[in-house]
Amino acid sequence: MTSKQSTKIIALLALFAITLGCGTSSETESDLLQSRQVGPDESATKGVIGFSALTLTNPFFKIIADSLTEAAESHGFVVSIDDADLDVNTQAKHIDSYIARKVVAIVINPADRVAIGPAIKSANEAGIPVFTNDLQCVAEDVEIAGHIGTDNFQGGRLAGQAMIEAVGDGGGKVLILHFAQANSCVLRVRGFYEVIDEYNSEHPDGTMDIVSELDGGGLRDQGFKATSDALQAHPDLDAIFAINDPSALGAVKALEQAGKQGQVTVIGFDGQIEGKQAIKDGLIYADPIQFPVKMGQRTVENIVKYLEGEEFTEMELIPTALYRHADGMKDPELN
């Protein structure tokens, strides 16, 4: 046997041993295949954008994810989507993962406007730009490359105006379903209070009294429970302002269960399909509506400009529009 033949046989035997997983290598065939699977065509793209969504059980953030993905793919990027499930520690782990994967950009809806700061700072130190949309980060000593969101303060003012319009000049007792971990919700409630305070100063004999401010969690189940508790403490409640549609829909369910549907006015916020349908059906009075598709698209536009060294508006707030029953009646998306 020649030296070349001997070398070829040894090489073939080594390859055979690796394939069977019984050689000296610690990698099995599965390990080798997995090491080559870098994601959907990632190797043929301009890079990966990591997106940690606040919660994909909320349709609003699912729309942002879909819009962001479509826009990114049109520019040659792949989006890796993760669900933080409202947990800031989970979101911090997502960011750590994105850093390890060396993504080209990170997008988040902060699960906690302050506590997410250290994770963002780690991305800053790794040289990876962090973009936020819908929800802002207000932590100190962190760099946010760009933010696209709703003008939540303006939306909160619209909610206050809708409340006055619906309840009338007689005033009434009002419950707020809050989600104070989110800066957007803090601004909504602040705008709502401003309008109600202005109204009360002009109508001392028929004021709007905020009798309770409860955590609705931004979720249907939690909104239901908080409203049920409030009705026990305040059976003469006149109105509810919920900071988003899921908590508003939870409030609607609680009112129905308590036999108070139609007796208590509900103002929501978002403009999700279910929320709009509830407005059309007379279960919710009105919503200041947001534009999540535009948020996803504009976020990608900003990422592209950032990576190409172009200037862009680092903070953009999109005004809300008030959506009432009349709008629902002519909305082609509804039943």
pLDDT digits (tens, 9 = 90+) for 169-206: 789 999 999 999 888 899 999 999 999 999 999 999 99
Q: Which residue, of 115, 144, 173, is where some domain finishes?
A: 144
pTM for the structure as a whole:
0.78
pLDDT value of position 183: 86
Query: Is 41 within a domain?
Result: no
Q: Taking the C-alpha atoms of 219, 224, 226 and 232 in order, what is their torsion angle to the nearest 10 degrees? A: 180
pLDDT value of position 262: 92
Q: Is 139 helix (H, G, I), strand (E, B) or coil?
A: coil
Type of residue at 297? Q
| Cα–Cα dist 240/31, whole Å | 55
Residues 113 and 86 in one domain: yes
Tokens of 52: 């940690």
Question: Using an 8 Å Cβ cutoff, are 39 and 94 in contact?
Answer: no
Question: Using an 8 Å Cβ cutoff, are 244 and 293 in contact?
Answer: no
pLDDT value of position 43: 52
pLDDT value of position 22: 28
| Cα–Cα dist 265/280, whole Å | 14
Question: Using an 8 Å Cβ cutoff, are 267 and 239 in contact?
Answer: yes
Residues 116 and 162 in one domain: no
DSSP string, 248-281: HHHHHHHHHHTT-TTTSEEE--B--HHHHHHHHT
Query: Is 185 within a domain?
Result: yes
Task: Tell me 270's DSSP state.
Answer: B
Question: Which residues, in sequence order, are bridge partners of residue 165?
Answer: none
Residues 61 and 161 in one domain: no
Q: Which domain holds residue 66?
A: 46-144
Residues 162 and 287 in one domain: yes
Q: Which residue has the tokens 């994601």?
A: 39
Strands 78-83 and 321-323: unpaired
H/E stretch holding 304? helix 292-307
Q: List average pLDDT for each run of 10 residues in the chain, which is 335 residues long.
A: 40 34 30 32 76 94 96 97 97 98 97 96 98 94 97 98 91 96 92 97 94 96 98 97 97 98 96 96 97 96 97 96 97 93
Q: Which residue has the tokens 């905020």?
A: 210
H/E stretch holding 108? strand 105-108
Tokens of 49: 């954008």
pLDDT value of position 251: 98
Q: How many domains does the chain have?
A: 3
Least Cα distance to 146 among 132, 136, 127 occurs for: 132
Question: Using an 8 Å Cβ cutoff, are 166 and 265 in contact?
Answer: yes
Question: Using an 8 Å Cβ cutoff, are 282 and 255 in contact?
Answer: no
pLDDT value of position 49: 98
Residues 53 and 131 in one domain: yes
